[in-house]
Amino acid sequence: MRRGAIVQLVVLAALISAAVTAIAVFIPWLPVQASEQRERIDFVFWFTTAICIFIFAVVASVSVYAGVKFRAKPDDDSDGKPTHGHTRLEIIWTVVPLVLVIAISVVSAVALAQNERLPSNHLKVDVTAQQFAWSFSYPGRGDLSTGELHLPVDVPVEFRFEARDVLHSFWVPQFGQKQDAVPVAERKNRTRLVVTPTRVGTYPIICTELCGLGHALMRANVVVERPAAFRRWMRERRGAQGGGGTARLAGRAVYEQNGCGGCHVFGPAGSAGRVGPSLDRLEAEARRANRGSLAAFTRESIVNVGAYIEPGYQNVMPNTFGQLPKDQLDALVDYLVQGARKGG
């Protein structure tokens, strides 16, 4: 009788855990793995999930068995028999979860410690977050700075984060980790993150901290490529940004580094942000605003953001762009004016 009950419970538990395991394994819940750190995080995830499936199977099978076996008959209004505690059972259901929770914390601690490990031959990338765009620079590599992140595959990267205005949070789902970008007075207090990309491809960079009206659009791309392609990209970018480039290219670089495209449509830059007014209509808007020449209007709109607000928009543009170095600001204004004229 007793043995029969145990056999039934074990069969029930096996069926339930098989069904839940199938749901866990055969539905692709997670994005593709594209970093070494993600592999460790996924290991912790599946380790914890396996424990959860085991606990669920035990609880669900006992519940189903008890519900079927000890159901009161429809006309049975009598009280149940009084029961007392069962010391051995209570010790088991205290010790088993304790061991499981300790196991999860040990496995997590090991994975986290390994994920923070950084070999000496790594790449450094400084990440600047601001409403509502990301920009990336490569210290020690000619101060190259860009709005699209490029990384060589299989090279460990140390990201250091900084925010210009409010909290933002850096997340590439395929890399598996998040890190806050915090406005800090001292650069040495920047938050950091170690990522070793393992898979060539283009992945989204998503801001996961509600940071204002354009939060949902605060996205960029990370391109993971073979080291040779990465070096070629660096050379090309440096050429475009450095002294060899024309003012137009420099202006475009300023536009991209400062994430203008995150909020504005601008044909010449191929940007399609929808938070702020379209810069393709800059000329028409300058006429309507009637605040001096096109260049003067453009400069004022960058430096003194609240001076004129296009009807239908709110004043959400960050007022940090007035701090741009003069040559960058000049190049940006030039680039916008030329592009707006050409676009008509």
Beta-bridge partner residues of 152: 225
Which residues 191-210 are close enough to bind ligand CUA by CB under 6 A?
Answer: 207, 209-210
Q: How far is the CB of 130 from ligand CUA (least distance, A)?
A: 8
Judged by beta carbon, residue 191 or residue 338, the one nearer ligand CUA is: 191
User: Could you give the CA distance from residue 60 to residue 69 in angstroms, rounded to a whole number?
Assistant: 14
User: Could you give the CA distance from residue 148 to residue 52 in angstroms, rounded to a whole number?
Assistant: 39
Distances, alpha carbon 250 to alpha carbons 41, 61, 118, in Å: 40, 67, 34
**Tokens linked to 175:** 């890399």
Q: Decide: is 162 part of the binding site for ligand CUA (CB under 6 A).
A: no
Q: Decide: is 40 part of the binding site for ligand CUA (CB under 6 A).
A: no
CB 331 within 8 A of CB 250: yes
Instruction: Say what angle helices 282-289 and 294-303 make with each other, to 10 degrees.
Output: 90
Q: Decide: is 285 part of the binding site for ligand CUA (CB under 6 A).
A: no
CB 184 within 8 A of CB 190: yes
Q: How far is the CB of 187 from ligand CUA (least distance, A)?
A: 20
Q: Decide: is 215 part of the binding site for ligand CUA (CB under 6 A).
A: yes
Judged by beta carbon, residue 131 or residue 298, the one nearer ligand CUA is: 131
Q: How far is the CB of 210 from ligand CUA (least distance, A)?
A: 6
Q: How far is the CB of 326 from ligand CUA (least distance, A)?
A: 28
Q: Decide: is 211 part of the binding site for ligand CUA (CB under 6 A).
A: yes
Residue span 119-158 as binding mask against ligand CUA, x where in contact by CB under 6 A, dash where not: ----------x--x--------------------------
Judged by beta carbon, residue 181 or residue 340, the one nearer ligand CUA is: 181
CA 115 to chain centre: 17
CA dihedral over 332, 333, 334, 340, signed as positive or negative: positive
Where along the sequence are the contacts to ligand CUA (CB under 6 A)? Answer: 129, 132, 168, 207, 209-211, 215, 218
